[in-house]
């Protein structure tokens, strides 16, 4: 049984920081690409950041220089460090594990950026 459990969401003021974590079980974590997606109210879900099994990373333009994705294969965990948060970063953030032909989603964690 595959489980992806996100944590670390919450309410933060503009300019603040949060670190999301996603603990995976039931998969050979080191062989999967790990993604963070987000979905804001009334908007489509978007891919925010990815880290390959080899550690290569990519980001959507709107978070480049502010967010950092990383993985710890020993802990079966992927992280998203979010700095300089903006109100437009408010969304439910989802952890995703991909290895063709499999894709697994977590249940999401709410991030709200507001003063």
What pLDDT does 5 receive?
97
What pLDDT does 11 receive?
98
Mean model confidence pLDDT for the chain: 97
pLDDT band of 38, cuts 50, 70, 90: very high
Please give the average per-residue pLDDT across 11-32, as a whole number. Answer: 98
What pLDDT does 51 receive?
98
What pLDDT does 97 receive?
98
47-74 exposure pattern, b = at least 16 Cβ within 10 A, e = fewer:
ebbbbebeeeeebeeebeeebbbebeee
What pLDDT does 21 receive?
98
- Per the CB < 8 A criterion, the answer to whether 64 and 84 are in contact is no
Q: Calculate what percentage of the chain has a pLDDT beyond 90.
A: 99
What pLDDT does 55 receive?
94
Please give the average per-residue pLDDT across 38-67, as a whole number. Answer: 97
């Amino acid at each position: 049984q595959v489980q992806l459990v996100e944590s670390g969401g919450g309410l933060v003021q503009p300019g603040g920081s949060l670190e999301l974590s996603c603990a995976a079980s039931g998969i050979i974590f080191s062989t999967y690409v790990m993604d963070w997606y987000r979905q804001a109210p009334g908007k489509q879900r978007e891919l925010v950041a990815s880290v390959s099994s080899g550690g290569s990373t990519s980001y959507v333009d709107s978070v480049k220089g502010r967010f950092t994705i990383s993985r710890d294969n020993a802990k079966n965990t992927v992280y998203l460090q979010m700095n300089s948060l903006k109100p437009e970063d408010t969304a439910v953030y989802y952890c995703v594990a991909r290895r063709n032909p499999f894709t697994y989603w977590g249940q999401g964690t709410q991030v709200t950026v507001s003063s």
